[in-house]
Structure 1
Amino acid sequence: MSGGHTPGTATKRNRAATVAQLRPRYQADLAQGTAQFFDQRRADCPWCGSTRLRQRLRTPDLFQHKPGHFNLDKCQECGHVFQNPRLNGAGLEFYYRDFYDGLGEKDLEGVFTGPGREKMYRRRAESLKPFARSPKSWLDVGTGHGHFCATARTVFPGTSFDGLDFSSGIELAERAGRIDRGFRGSFTELARGELVGGYDAVSMYHYLEHSTDPRSELRAARQALRPGGHLLIEVPDPQSRLAAVLGRWWLPWLQPQHLNFVPVANLREELTVLGFTVVAEEHAEPHDTVDLLGAVWLSLNAIAPPEDAPWLAKPTDGIHRLLRAAILLAGVPALLVGTTLDRLLVKPIAHRLGLSNAYRVIARRPEAPPG
């Protein structure tokens, strides 16, 4: 190869240039501190209204190392866990920026297409088969880059798959042909317009926890579904015992992005209020084998100097980059042990011992009343 530059070197230089270009905007955003990104702390539960709250977790951003600390409270009455104080609109924009797209797009693409992801997507789609053999149309809310839809086509080849998301990943998914149509924006708004009654299936896979108002998302799903259609929901389980054991190192807390954690009993009750019939509740199969691996990775990422990023006041120097690489390299054996234990120890007993990190609910919208 001539020229003396490897593709890896070019990628690093491109990233460094992008970081330098973005730094002035981030520094301007942070000039007034992070308090501007939060609503007022609330004294009651957003789910049931109880004032019996206790702190569940306090943590910095363990993923991107963006400035700020984030608090999760738990309602002692209904068990709902929520970010308090919650990010406001400006905060959501700031902390989502460059996570799923921009700087973070390449890293997230690897997560969505990593080992075992296609198998997981297939199982999600197959979970509907006992209740709907051939849905004509399916809307995946929070579709990201559309990888679930691409796999689900192989399970339901006659189904039209649309996707909805806030990020620019929705355009990427449409260009790649993973979805038939892409919608960018708010589900609660779009469900009142062009999406009304358009789908036999609506899925929300690890989407509801990102919502500022989960109840409104459930109402939107009811509006988007045809009578007799099915809603598929998968979310982190805040009642997982591993969440208590691992604390801030439990990957599904994903602060600051996850705003609401709904216990399964609360979700079932709300779906019933909306007229749905819950036809399936699963805990063992939705469990993702990432708990111990994720805890090790977050720990390493916390002690290693951060990768250069535009929200850091100054670029990281060569010594810090070498130290980060050395710490991550030294942690490889621990990552391998975490992966092995997740798959061979935790997975087989996860549901039996209450360790499952996620649950899935499938609910049917009632048929239209006779003429």
Structure 2
Amino acid sequence: MTSREERSRRRRARRETVSGLRPEYAAELADGPQAFFEPLRHNCPWCGSGRIGGHLLTADLLQHKPGRFRVDRCHSCGHLFQNPRLNGRGLDFYYRDFYDGLGEQQLDGMFGGRTTSYRRRAESVRPHLGGVKRWLDVGTGHGHFCEVARAVLPEVEFDGLDRSEGVELAERRGRVARGFRGPFTELAPDLAGEYDAVSLFHYLEHSTEPLRELEAARTCLRPGGHIVVEVPDPGSRYARLLGRWWLPWLQPQHLHLMPVGNLRGALSDLGFTVVAEQHRSAHEPVDLVAAVWLALEGAAPRDDLPWLPPVGPLHRALRGAALLAGVPALVAAALLDQAVAPFAGRLGLCNAYRLVARRG
């Protein structure tokens, strides 16, 4: 089969999948997006202060599923959080077909292509993790980080944990020694004291209760073990400059965005000692190109998606033409991202930070 025939076959298969999913999504949306949210809260979930206010109002800029999402800021501690927050039904709805289903192949390819980033991450934390033999990667997805990190840390055995079926795929493909599927806070007691290192790479921001996730990590660690936490940095100047087009807002998936001082304090309260705070090595130079892409996606006609009305060939052709016209802007933004990256730390533009802390 030629590559052209294969692409045509995949397009037909996708259209059939979309058509099959459309009744399910119609039933889910029958009560409207308001059914996906908890009641509005009036205090900060991090410090309890009632001094909170609206910071950002946006939509689902990636999947274009219906709904509006608000991020509030606590004026006492600086914590940012989705308010009202998605309930269990809402989390299921907005995650569906993102990391699995319709989105599985695309996401697997995207994360699988980040070998350099994963290697840099492993090399950045290696000097602080002497003697590590067993490592649990929480929110491992398809296990790509573990696969790459083994080359940097060949003496370490990596296990993975995730809510999605991706962790089972990771175990089948040998990317992790053992794969655990389910909520971390529920599985942690069975893994108590088993690990020298626990990593939460871009995981806490997705959690409904991030402080409980940190407690679960402490449970899994042996005394003297290390936790590695990497999250988006809401203090990045890009967050202010790019507004709703800053990718790490990632609504509605990101429920919490924690200033670095807040996370350091929480780790200290749990008996951890922070041994490293890294900003430049946690930064991914994608802010500008991602902002341009999100803007193009917002302006272009929508793709054929099961939660939106059906589209025809003309609509798809118009979408292709609109995105093609934006290629020069995407290229320019990508080049500028790379040019700015060496100075991101000094300019306050790093879009993430990483903490390494030792359990007392």
User: Which TM-score band (shorter chain)?
Assistant: over 0.9
Alignment of 1:1-371 (within 5 A): 6-114=5-113, 117-192=114-189, 194-312=190-308, 314-345=309-340, 347-366=341-360
CA contact (8 A) 1:287 1:358 kept: yes
| Aligned residue type for 2:314 | I
CA contact (8 A) 1:134 1:159 kept: no
Which stretches of structure 1, 4 residues or longer, exceed 6 Å deviation after superposition? none
Q: Matches of 1:323 and 1:44 in 2, distance apart?
A: 46
Q: Matches of 2:143 and 2:326 in 1, distance apart?
A: 32
Name the TM-score, length of structure 1 as normaliser: 0.95
CA contact (8 A) 2:278 2:353 kept: yes
Cα displacement (A) at 1:269: 0.5
| Aligned residue type for 1:263 | P
- SS of alignment partner, residue 351 of structure 1: helix
Q: Matches of 1:138 and 1:179 in 2, distance apart?
A: 10
Partner of 1:369: none
- SS of alignment partner, residue 230 of structure 1: strand
Cα displacement (A) at 1:133: 2.8
| Number of matched pairs | 360
Q: Matches of 1:128 and 1:352 in 2, distance apart?
A: 21
Cα displacement (A) at 1:66: 0.3
Name the TM-score, length of structure 2 as normaliser: 0.98
Q: Matches of 2:135 and 2:86 in 1, distance apart?
A: 31
- SS of alignment partner, residue 281 of structure 1: strand
- SS of alignment partner, residue 85 of structure 1: coil
Stretch moving more, 126-135 or 40-49 = 126-135
- SS of alignment partner, residue 110 of structure 2: helix
Q: Matches of 1:31 and 1:341 in 2, distance apart?
A: 44
| Aligned residue type for 1:275 | G
CA contact (8 A) 2:236 2:348 kept: yes
Identity of aligned residues (%): 61
- SS of alignment partner, residue 346 of structure 2: coil
| Structure 1 residues not aligned, in runs of 5+ | 367-371
| Aligned residue type for 2:158 | F
| Aligned residue type for 2:253 | Q
For residues 90-142 of structure 1, the C-alpha deviation after alignment (integer angstroms, 9 at most, x for no partner) is 0000000000011001111122023xx21211121122322223411000000
Whose helix proportion is higher, 1 or 2? 2
Cα displacement (A) at 1:5: 6.6
For residues 284-318 of structure 1, the C-alpha deviation after alignment (integer angstroms, 9 at most, x for no partner) is 11110110000000001101111111111x31111
Alpha-carbon RMSD across the aligned residues, in angstroms, is: 1.2
Q: Matches of 1:216 and 1:74 in 2, distance apart?
A: 21
For residues 123-173 of structure 1, the C-alpha deviation after alignment (integer angstroms, 9 at most, x for no partner) is 211223222234110000000110000001001112111001111111111
Stretch moving more, 149-158 or 132-141 = 132-141
